[in-house]
Amino acid sequence: MAAVALAALVFTVDDSMAQQTNQDFFRLLTFEVGNSGPRLGTTRGNGEQDIVDVHNAVLYLIKAGASEVNGLAPIPVDMRSLIEAGDASVNAVKTVHETITRLRTSGNFTDPGGATRVFHPPASVSYFPPVPNPSKILAAAGAYQRPNPDGSPGNYDNVEFGSFFFKPPSGLTGHNTKINLAGLLTRGVYEPEFAAIIGKRARFVRAEDALDYVIGYTNFNDVSSRDLPQGQHGSQGSNISKGLDTFGPAGPYITLKEDVPNPGNLELVAMVNGVRHQWPHNNGNTKFLTFTLQESISYLSERMTLEPGDYVVTGVPSPSMAFEVGQTVEISIGNLGTLRNTVVSEPHPGWTPIKPAPGSVPPSDQ
C-alpha cells in the first residue's frame, strides 16, 4: 500500500459549530508499517497527529511503571477482537492513548524506535480498513429521498422496506490505497456512504435501541462497475459488479459514537481530483435517508444476526459519481475524516479476460 500523508479535512455539519472546528476527535484505526502486518492504532484529529501503536505503548508504559495501566481491561490484538471485548477494553485503549501522549508532551518519553516504536507519523504508515475482517458488509440501495421544494424530506418510491445487498469482506481496502479495475472494466462509479460499525451482537433489536449496538462510524466507498461483463440471472443482483477486490474502501478510522451525537444529520462530501461534487437533488445529507440508521439496523437484525465489527452501510444519494483511471477520489462525511483512494487499472500479469461464450443467451430463471 502506498503511504501518503492525510490532508486536513474541511467539513460542515449542521448540528453544531463545535463539530465544524474541533480537530481533536479520538480515532481507532488499523495500520501497518513496512510488512509488520495489521496493528491496532489510535490518533486524534484528521491526520495531522501521530498514530499510536497501542500494544507498543502498553509495553512502554508497563516498563515505565505507569500507574494508569494497572488494572486495565485486556486489550486484544486486532480491531474486531477489541470490539468483541466491549466497552471496558475500548476505554482501556483510550486510557493508553491519553497516558502515552501526556508522557510524551511532558518531555519524559523517549521512543524506543524499531519494531517497538510507539508514535508513527501518518505519512509513514499504510492504512487497513478499520475492521479488516468483518463477518459481513451489508449495504443499502435506493436509500435516499429527494427533498420537497421547501427542503423537507420527501418520499422515495413509497417503499415498505429498505433494500440491502452483501459486499464481500475480501473487497475491503483502506485509506490511501488503490481502487483497481484490473483490466476488467473501463468505467465505474464511486458512492460515498455513511457506515456504522456494529459493537455487539444484535438480533431482534428495536429501532429505539439500535445505537446501543453501535461502537462508531466510518466513511465507506461502495465502488461499483458499470460495464463489467457478467451473468444476467436475476439472483446475481449487484454482488459481482460491486464485489471486486478493492471495491470496498473504508476508513480511515472508526470515530466513536459519542463523538457523533446525531448520525441522522451528517453532510456527505465527494470530490474527484479536488473538485467537489454537487448533489443535483440537494439531498447529500443523512437526514434524507428514507430509513434512518436505527431503522435499518432493526430491520437487518430481524432477519440475521449482526456481529461485532460488521459494517452497515447506508447507501448513496443519487446519482452516483463516475470516475476514471488516474483520478483521486475523496469522501468526507460529517466529522469522520477523509477517505482517499486513487483509481488504477492493473491487470494480473499474463491474464486474458474471459470472453462470453459464442451465441450465449441470458439464463432462464430457475
Output the pLDDT for position 202. 98
Output the pLDDT for position 209. 98
For the chain, list the domains and their CATH numbers: 17-126 (no CATH), 129-344 (3.90.850.10)
Output the pLDDT for position 126. 98
Output the pLDDT for position 17. 30
Output the pLDDT for position 362. 54
Q: Decide if pLDDT at 282 tops 90.
A: no
List, for residues 131-189, the tens digit of each pLDDT value.
999 999 999 998 988 777 777 767 665 678 899 999 999 999 999 999 999 999 887 88
Which residues lie across from 32 on neighbouring strands?
126
The better pLDDT of the pair 231, 323 is held by: 323
List, for residues 29-73, the tens digit of each pLDDT value.
999 999 999 999 999 999 999 999 999 999 999 999 999 999 999
Output the pLDDT for position 6. 27
Q: Decide if pLDDT at 13 tops 80.
A: no
Contacts 24+ apart (CB under 8 A), 100-109: 100/52, 100/57, 100/60, 100/61, 101/52, 103/61, 103/64, 103/66, 109/60
Q: Binning pLDDT at 50, 70 and 90, where does residue 343 land?
A: very high
Query: Which amino acid belongs to residue 288?
Result: F
SS3 labels along 39-89: EEEEEECCCCCCEEEHHHHHHHHHHHCCHHHCCCCCCCCCHHHHHHHCHHH
| Residue whose entry in the numeric block shows the C-alpha cell 443519487 | 318
Q: State the average pLDDT over residues 276-304.
A: 93
Output the pLDDT for position 232. 75
